[in-house]
Amino acid sequence: MEIFVEVARQRSFSEAARRLGLSRAMVSKHILQLEEKLNARLLHRSTREVSLTDAGQAYLAPCEAAVRQAQEAARIVAHAGDTLAGPLRIQAPSSFGVTWLADALARFSLPHPQLTPLLHVDDALLDPIAHGFDLTIRVGGIPDSRALAIRPLAPCRAVLCATPAYLQRHGTPREPGDLAVHRCLHFSHLTDGTAWHFERAGERRTVHVNATFTSNNGLVLHHAALQDAGIVYSTTFLAWRELQAGTLVAVLPDWQLPLNHLSALYPASSRLSPKVRKLIDFLVAEYQPVPPWDAALVLEHER
């Protein structure tokens, strides 16, 4: 139909072929096939010009409309990625989802009013495919699965901290072993139970702490620590502001805790949709090369 419309417009097989990027023989073949299908002659051919038959004249207008519609549909599909729309299902740990991701998602979706983010915060290690998430943000705990693709977003640095009041009352630990006599606020998703691991200059220590307060939610432990409840195993993305203000103080800062990473997980088998790809790129730009929470602590340390 598109070839017929072009031949009718140009009144020439050769010119239509040139404009369509086809050979003259191919244009002629398509017109013959169309006429055979319709059982009607559409064009008068002569050595000098091509003209429409009565049947061709009647067929031209609906063909032009159909071609315009098809071209518009192709344009819409080609530019579908320019407009982000529809649901975007994301799962993230509660502490990171509340303190950082909610703000980032709001700013990401602002230029895309047709986009509807659905943020599910949960500290459980949910299977993103089984639960239908487009994207899962995870701290450590990366599954060994070929069904999932992974893109690192940022380092996730652990930190021990407590209020000055707690440390004044109970003393400040000088060595990891001192933690055994302290009240410790324990995150239950740590893989080795109440064993906290430390490293300094190649030396490794492991302490089984007295977990006087345990939760599967980092925010719960963070707020408990602010009430002088003990020494909390936290992260810099959660505690950075209080560390800056001095309402929490780093404990055993010369010893390193195991380093985890924030990662974006998504199904590897399906083609990544534009909205998921652009969200991942947005988060990478937000958190790399140095995440803002760590940058703030470095700036505070240099003052």
Q: Which tens digit of pLDDT belongs to each residue from 233-271?
A: 999 999 999 999 999 999 999 999 998 899 999 887 667
Q: CA nearest 12: which of 54, 61, 50? A: 50
The reply to whether 68 and 114 lie within a common domain is no
Q: Which residues contact 66 (CB under 8 A, 6 or more apart)?
A: 1
Give domain status of residue 256, yes or no: no
Q: What confidence tens digit (pLDDT) does each residue in 167-217 have?
A: 999 999 999 999 999 999 999 877 677 899 999 999 999 999 999 999 989
Of 78, 107, 134, the residue at which a domain comes to its end is 78
Give domain status of residue 62, yes or no: yes
Q: Which residue has the higher pLDDT, 179 or 139?
A: 179
DSSP code of 82?
G
CA distance readout (Å), 269 to 148, 149, 200, 236: 8, 9, 41, 34
Q: What confidence tens digit (pLDDT) does each residue in 67-89 have?
A: 888 877 766 665 555 578 899 99
- What pLDDT is recorded for position 291? 94
First to last CA, the chain: 73
The reply to whether 199 and 270 lie within a common domain is no
Distance separating alpha carbons of residues 185 and 210, to the nearest angstrom = 9
The reply to whether 38 and 169 lie within a common domain is no
Q: How many residues does the chain have?
A: 303
Q: Which residues contact 185 (CB under 8 A, 6 or more apart)?
A: 211, 212, 213, 214, 215, 221, 224, 225, 229, 230, 231, 232, 233
Instruction: Check if the beta carbon of residue 216 is closer than 8 Å to that of residue 188.
Output: yes
Range of the domain at 207: 158-251
- What pLDDT is recorded for position 92? 94
Distance separating alpha carbons of residues 203 and 176, to the nearest angstrom = 12
Give 106's pLDDT tier (boundaries 50, 70, 90).
very high
- What pLDDT is recorded for position 141? 66
Give 39's pLDDT tier (boundaries 50, 70, 90).
very high
The reply to whether 106 and 229 lie within a common domain is no
The reply to whether 68 and 8 lie within a common domain is yes
The reply to whether 271 and 146 lie within a common domain is yes
The reply to whether 189 and 215 lie within a common domain is yes
The reply to whether 87 and 231 lie within a common domain is no
The reply to whether 138 and 267 lie within a common domain is yes
The reply to whether 208 and 223 lie within a common domain is yes
Give domain status of residue 28, yes or no: yes
pTM over 0.75: no
Distance separating alpha carbons of residues 297 and 280, to the nearest angstrom = 25
Distance separating alpha carbons of residues 239 and 160, to the nearest angstrom = 9
Give domain status of residue 257, yes or no: no
| CATH classification of the domain holding 124 | 3.40.190.10
Give domain status of residue 183, yes or no: yes
The domain tally of the chain equals 3
